[in-house]
Amino acid sequence: MSKTARELAADIGARLDGDGALELRGVAAPERAGPHDLIYVDAAKNVARAAASAALCVITPDELAIPGKTLLRHSHPKLAFAKAAARLLERPPIASGIHPTAIVAPLARIAADVSIGPYAVIAEDVHIGAHTQIGPHSVIAAGCWIGSNCRIHPRVTLYAGVRIGDRVEIHAGAVIGAGGFGYAQGEGRYWKFPQIGLVEISDDVEIGANTTIDRGSLDDTRIAEGVKFDNLVHVGHNCQIGAHTVIAALTGISGSCVFGKNVVIGGQAGFGEQVHLEDGAVIGGQSGVLGGKIIRSGQTVWGTPARSMEKFKEQFVWQTRLPELAARIKELEAKVERK
């Protein structure tokens, strides 16, 4: 796909400064860009990279000047660049048409222009919305509902009854709707607790490769609109993840956690059961949040057990001084013994 600089400026809400007829065909880093690639600069320290680039068009803040380039000026260059990329880059198809090796049950309802890759399995009573693509070797179990314009990559598994909204992207190897890790102990053994709830995933969610989201126990597991999961995230049964929350790789979330809107979670964080994160909470990477804890709206926490950023920094300084303090104590003890 290609657009002129003028067309692109109008699309992304930027102010054009230069050649509006310049044709743009892609995006790239400054060092890899060609003349018809778009690049961006968000700080003065990167102006030299942009100036030396072969790219002729740059998204830049209002206050920066780059001689010899056509500029698309925007208050948030990185956001503008992401929007521009969505208009310039054509996403490679996951599947094209319905492959002859795909198994589609007679009672499955497949909308127009759905594509299903080789060896995919679509079970009875599945609904797949228009323009959705299902990758090779994926399994969509009975009663699943998938909206329109979704992208389901290879080897994704949806257990029975999973509900997925529109424009959802699920990357390779993800498993949605498996039974949760719930047991009752008694009579010398563990008894499986019922896992009969559903998984509901709203519009515009992205789920990373090999991420797992368990079905609810007696309630449902719900992922609100715009949530973004990195690779290798686990979400336990009955969890409620609020809109536009982002969760980085290797995070583990125990059952019945409730996360508000616009929460940010760093990689390798861990959550005990029934944790409540209020809107806008920020959880640092490798933090451990104990079961039942409430993190208040807008609060940033770090460490294990998780505590406020201010407290974490204060304690970390003392931890780094422990060898020095231990040496001083030994020295004082030696002096006392000599007396």
Half-sphere exposure in the Cβ direction for 301 (13 Å, CA): 25
Could you give the dihedral angle defined by the CA atoms of residues 7, 11, 14 and 17, in that order, rounded to the nearest 10 degrees? 0
Among the listed residues 305, 288, 200, the one whose alpha carbon sits nearest the alpha carbon of residue 251: 288
Using DSSP's 3-state secondary structure scheme, residue 279 falls into coil
Among the listed residues 157, 168, 244, the one whose alpha carbon sits nearest the alpha carbon of residue 204: 168
Q: How far apart are CA 97 and CA 36, in angstroms?
A: 32
Q: What are phi and psi of 135, to 5 degrees?
A: -80, 165
* Catalytic residue (choose from 127, 237, 244, 276): 237
Pairing of strands 206-207, 252-253: unpaired
Distances (CA, A) of 74 to 18, 124, 211, 330: 14, 49, 35, 60
Active site (annotated) includes residue 234: no
Pairing of strands 121-122, 103-104: parallel
144's CB contacts (< 8 A; 6+ apart) are 123, 126, 127, 158, 160, 161, 162, 163, 164
- Is residue 39 within 8 Å of residue 50, measured between CB atoms? yes
3-state DSSP helix/strand/coil % of the chain, to nearest 5: 15, 30, 55
Distances (CA, A) of 260 to 122, 226, 249, 255, 292: 34, 13, 19, 15, 15
Cβ atoms < 10 Å from Cβ of 263? 23
Q: Give catalytic residues, as residue numbers.
A: 237
